[in-house]
Structure 1
Amino acid sequence: MKLKNYILICLVLIISMHSFAQSGLQKKADNLYNKFSFYNAIEVYEELINKNYNSDYNTRQLADCYAYQRNPEIAVIYYKKVVEQPNVPIEYYYKYSEALRGVKDYDESRIWMKKFKDAGGILNDKKLSEDADFITSVFNAKQQYFFSEVKFNSKQSDFGAYERDGNVYFASSADEGVSTKHVYGWNNQPFLDVYVTAKDSDTIIHHKSKIKGKINSNYHDGPLTISKDGKTMYFSRTNFIGNELKKDINGLSNLKIYKATLIDDSWENIEELSINNDTYSVGHPALNSDGSKLYFASDMPGGFGGTDIYYADINADGSLGTPKNLGNTVNTNKNEVFPFVNNENVLFFSSDGHLGLGLLDIFATVSDKDNAIASVLNLGVPVNSNKDDFSFFMNEDGLTGYIASNRDGGVGDDDIYAYYKLPELKVEGTVTDSSTGNPVANATVSLLDANSNELAKVTTDENGHYDIYIDRDADYYLKVNNDNYMDITIPVTSKGIGDNVTSITKDITLNPIEKELPIKELNTIYFDFDKYDINKDSSIELDKIVDMMMNQYPTMSIKIESHTDSRGPEPYNNKLSQERAKSTYDYLISKGVEASRIIEFKGYGELKLTNNCDGTVACSEAQHQLNRRTQFIVIQNK
């Protein structure tokens, strides 16, 4: 292989790998963002912007990250760039207004709030829009989550949904005969049991769906969490073990956390944890991503009031360290309950002490660069309502999960709601050669808005693949170009795309630029009258072409076009010209030219005469000879 061709191949591979790497970075950034790991997402979004990859979209994401980091000084810089983008979603007018308010530029803030309202913007919730702080206002500029149906709710209380390996575990008072209604938290509840059902189950028979083993007792059991290896369960239960119900000095039985071990498919060996106490409640267990910390809610002495969120370190032998209060950024003088920690170690919890929409609202923590909790964020509607909203759970995808609520319109008392976040949408496909069907590497695919402004640009990989992230409910164009092909621009729209759709496929074919005889040495060869065999003169010219294709231009591809003069019947001439094309093709192949580099060999009969010798005028043999020919069209020559 010649050096220049080796270098060319290396360059193509480098460009393809670069494009693939950027696509991977995009997925990483969005994954971190969806899981509220905003500080880590910032670094990746900045890298993507520096590489000019999906710059408009990533600038919007970056601005949001800085806002959620409670940093309006930097957020306002990026929001200013965002609102200058063509066809920017109008909620960014509101976000920019809030960022300006965060840096006390009230005059400019009012201007952009008016633009938001003039564009038809409507705030999601009046209470939050008037009273919420900067971070919550920005987050709730646009609805973040949506609900889908859950089929395992009963007419009683159902909450604490926890998904694992295709199953959903939850606490329920679905047994018939239970008359006491669940009021709130752990007071005056009917007796709860732990149930498990397949995630996509259409129906559930509650008395047949109780979890196997010794988890369920005669009193309250659940909710729960399971260790990463799936062998240990931590669960809440009324202070009952060994057939003994224990009470405090006031005659009340508090909550405790117990653990169980999975033996075969049954949960056995119930053990009480050292952090429990008969005089106060400890409940609602949650594990961090590596299982090294157990989070829980407790009204133990020394807290900030009501119930607080605590954690305890889990030692190598399974024992627990001393409980630590998460501090007053999370905890208030009221109640914080139902902690949950996702796989990016972001804490979610419910509280009636932070500013919210109703009674208990669900909040997320936002951490700083040192991974310390810096602020909390109200998740807004529809996750929160004017009633109690609690027991938040997020799957590892960061896009789906469950909450529970006693809001109006449910099946029973407390109901489980499955939520989903709209996944990022991309347009992707494969660019191919229209003549060969082969993928076209190193083609530039540009995303244009409806006014033909360039928004993003990527390069196809070695398989001709591309992908570009786009907004929903918008019109675009894709412009594709490569030096060896004719440019093409096609429309693409994301309007009317379903909420669960993550990609739009747009495969694109490019027409090669055909350059006839760009290389002087590709001479035409000629045939004797009524013959299609390669004569001596023709073989000399063909050998030159073989040498060029195998040595001088090893990436060159050609088409073979053969012709006849006008003498003889048209069907006969068509057949004769095809035989001349085939004999030319066979000769080149016999000399070592790869068949894949001869894109086509075709006979045209007498359709393309080079002169006026069409049978209506007298012509010499030399004139007819000019029409008995094969020509070579160079399709690709890099």
Structure 2
Amino acid sequence: MYIGFTYRIIRCCTILLLAVCSSLHVHAQEQKELLQLAAEAYARQEYATANIFYNKVAAVKNGKGITAALQERLAKCNQETGHFNEAAYWYREWLKQPGCPSAANYGYGAVLCNLERYDSARTQFQQFITFNADSIRLKQLALQSCDSAIIWKSDTDNLPFFNMESLNTAASDWVCSIKNEDIILVSNGRRRMLFAGKKELHPAIDNRTEEPFYKPYQYSAYKSGDKTFFEGNACYPELLDKYHYHIGPVAANMAGDTLYLTMNVQEGTIRHDPVNGVRRLKLYWSAKRNGVWSKPVMIPGVDQDGFSSGHAALSHDGNTLYFVSDKPGGLGQTDIWYSEKQPDGNWGTPKNCGEGINTAAAENFPVINEDGLLYFSSKGRVGMGGYDIYIASGNKDHWGSPFHLPPPFNSGADDFGMVLKSSGIEGYLSSNRPEGCGSDDIYYFMDILHFKRYKQVLPDLKPIPVRTPGQRKGTNIAVSVPLKPAAPLQLTKEEQADICQLESFNFYFKYNSASLETGSVAMLAQVEDIMKRHPGWKLFIIAATDCRGTDTYNIDLSALRCFTLLDYLRKGGIIPGRLYYQNIGKKGIVNGCIAGVPCTGAQHRENRRACLKVIYR
């Protein structure tokens, strides 16, 4: 009995031991397969996919025996996919390992900058030890960026800046251009949405992000009460719906009859072995003839086999094409290049924009908002972390020193794609800031002194020359221009009548808006006619608000109302040099309807107005 009992115990223990060994073997085999799949995805720069596999391996290990190599890959995958808090955690774990390379300090410092923890980031950069000349320069740049970012954060401009939640998805969204006040955006979060009665139930997935491929969309704004809504559709569906993979961004010439498209190579197949499977981005163009778009073709001479090109931006005259490429001959990872239009309509051999724009790191997202200015993002200059937005004046390969935009335009995250509306004081940019709705989000901003502030450092800037040499942040903008000539001039009866008519106009605005009432829009056509009869005259526009809202808000709102009239008259052929303005906010109340005084809607309306003064010779 005793012997039999002992035998049964030994037999059970043997079976249990075999089961444990078998389980361990299965887990070990599973980990090996996961690590192999992760390594293959990582080699293809499919960081989102690699991150999933590496996290599964870490979960199986349950915190025990996680190697330094695994911690390094988890840190870098999370960093590349914008998961900065997770990346910071794995960098900290990696740095605890004996013999951890000093490069981990640099990577950790970069992630801390993304999280805007600049003091801690500076400590990590100081601990980065290197004897390589390029790395020493990177270290110095990083330390200078930390010091500058601390100063910039302490002096952030207080201007309207907010997340466009109505436009953003849980994935990635960014504005690439504005077409007739419509927003052209690129998104990988809309493929499953319903557009024109159609939607993609099972869109193809990009393994680099684990999200669908990008596609362009066009959105129009409309008002309902006091709220703004957006209605969208796929962009150029008759042309682009037949194509696959990444489509966008899209740029058009001024006439709107030629498109410049960034798309993945469509033709042929690609290998899918462990380290291949890359479909390069290329620049295509399409022309509209007799109402029909031609089939997109690669731009001859611009693209180079084996390398990517994209993100087209056109000069206003349509003769210079700027784009991004990783082709040989550049200064860094990706550079901004340009090509000039030839007499036969084709594009010439690309040239690098040079050290005035490009660095040893990555430059991307070129935008032309005003002639003679390039807005772009860079990782290789003094900044706040990730991609930062800069403005440079010049053209082709001749540029002044780029100007770094202060917060809130830039942050520790990636900031890019700054596009201005026609007013020149409103616009959009995109960022993967932690407080966003998705990966990359669209943000709206309004900066009434955008041109004035940057003209001080960008002397070649030629905006609408409204004379605004005043103070910022809630103060009245004083404009020093003569409202009457120094010596009286003898005016004809016709001139006197025209001045009387111009100065009698009151242009009324909708509540809490810079949009004109319908009747006021009609009056602007009369203003155009009179000003065209008197080419020597100038106009002084004065805009006001009612008493509701703060002083600062109403100063900004009255500036927007000025710009509504400026923009309308400029489009009507009145050159900007003939236009001046003053935004006076609540100081323009004409009927005693001030704060605390009960007033009707009609009485408030009397104060939501702009009027004109004539400056004549």
TM-score, normalised with respect to structure 2: 0.46
TM-score, normalised with respect to structure 1: 0.45
Higher strand share: 1
